[in-house]
Amino acid sequence: MFEFSVVGGRAARDIIGRSRPAIVEQVRETYLAHDAGRTINPDSYFLRFPEKPDSRIIALPAYLGGAGHDVAGIKWISSFPGNIDQGIPRASAALILNDYATGYPFAVLEASQVSAARTAASAVLAAEQLTGGRSADRIAVIGGGIIARNILEFFVAQKWSVGRVAVYDQIAEYGTALASYTRETLGYPADPVADLATAVAGADVVVFATTAGEPYVLDADAFAPGQVVLNISLRDIGPEIIHDAYNVLDDVDHCLKANTSPHLAEQKYGNRDFITGTLAQVIRGTATVGRDRPVIFSPFGLGVLDLAVGTYVYEQARAAGDLVTVDDFFGETSRW
């Protein structure tokens, strides 16, 4: 009952690296559990800093029940975009897992790997559901960072057939680095491109994985009918484009806050009529998209996904003997 363990980032990434298809399935089952009401997923809580308006630390508490799970916990994840200027990752995170029977925490995981994996698994699952397969003549990736890299790794793990990957980043060296990694390590033909329009033109799937704080894609013709747009960074796309597309979210109430692109559309138009449904509803067949407009997937990011993937990583680490146990973590283990 009183064991407390740590899973470090290197162990977590090794486990994720050999388990990506299983993680996609974990994410799929968790979306369905959430849709069926077997989760508790309160609002995320944002800690902001007046003198650093672009930085924040977010708390995502959640509970996941059913499908072999009975765990609560919280992810504490920071986003400091200024880190990029120092050559270090924007995000860092920790995930605490709590035993549902007693409430006692039993593990803490370095969770930037968990968070990136659940985000990438969600993106690739959505691409599969919204395109109806696992192939694309061209994928456009906007943003050359860690999340983009993880998404491409999950495309490979899910055995997608991809003709070419076009990468655009405002900082050319990042786009070049991701394109090189995609070619040399992942095996997809890939090139950096000089501008957003060139990247997006002719792409079957467009991935936004940037640090943008407000929309800059404003041209009504930015996306073609039938293009699947994975709006992972949530704030790149103008509300007018959102309004005129098919919109699939992970959770409607969660996504329509914090000035995400769908939230801006709700504020501008005063309704939610532009929302097609959730990804779980698409999986179940109760929501459908057409090919006469762009199809945009906007996932706010659910704490229950972190619990599902974090618990999976914890269990794999335990089976492999990779847990670091902290002796006497609890100072008192009996009332008297």
**CATH code assigned at 185:** 3.40.50.720
pLDDT at 2: 87
Q: Is there a domain that residue 123 lies in? A: no
Q: Is there a domain that residue 153 lies in? A: yes
Residues 307 and 228 in one domain: no
Residues 140 and 286 in one domain: yes
- 264-302 burial: b if 16+ Cβ within 10 Å, else e: bbbeeeeeeebbbbbbbbbbeeebebeeebbbbbbbbbb
Q: How far apart are CA 104 and CA 333, in angstroms?
A: 11
116, 154, 164, 255, 317 from 119: Cα distances, Å: 5, 10, 22, 14, 21
H/E stretch holding 227: none
SS3 state at 247: strand
- 156-180 burial: b if 16+ Cβ within 10 Å, else e: bbbebebebbbbbbeeeebbebbbe
Q: Is there a domain that residue 334 lies in? A: no
Residue matched to tokens 């002796």: 327
- Reference 116, options 167, 74, 152; nearest CA is 152
Q: Is there a domain that residue 269 lies in? A: yes
**Apex CA 298: angle with CA 295 and CA 299, to 5°?**
140
Residues 103 and 137 in one domain: no
Residues 144 and 272 in one domain: yes
Range of the domain at 159: 131-298
H/E stretch holding 309: helix 303-320
Phi-psi region of 83 (alpha: psi -120 to 50; beta: other; left: phi over 0): alpha
**pLDDT beneath 50: ranges in the chain:** none
Q: Is there a domain that residue 158 lies in? A: yes
Residues 71 and 13 in one domain: yes
Residues 149 and 24 in one domain: no
CATH number at residue 74: 3.30.1780.10
Q: Is there a domain that residue 333 lies in? A: no
Residues 73 and 193 in one domain: no
Residues 159 and 277 in one domain: yes
Quote the number of domains for the chain: 2
Provide the greatest CA pair distance for the chain: 70
pLDDT at 25: 97
pLDDT at 152: 98
pLDDT at 69: 78
Instruction: Answer for the pair 245, 292: CB distance below 8 angstroms, yes or no.
Output: no
pLDDT at 197: 96
Q: How far apart are CA 136 and CA 119, in angstroms?
A: 20
Q: Is there a domain that residue 189 lies in? A: yes
Residues 26 and 94 in one domain: yes
Residues 277 and 312 in one domain: no
Residues 93 and 160 in one domain: no
Q: How far apart are CA 68 and CA 149, in angstroms?
A: 30
Q: Is there a domain that residue 234 lies in? A: yes
pLDDT at 67: 57
Residues 171 and 135 in one domain: yes
The four Cα atoms 311, 316, 321, 327 give a dihedral, to 10 degrees, of 0
79, 116, 233, 261, 267 from 213: Cα distances, Å: 12, 19, 9, 10, 17
Measured in degrees and rounded to the nearest 5, phi and psi for residue 225 equal: -55, 135
H/E stretch holding 45: strand 45-49
pTM of the model: 0.94
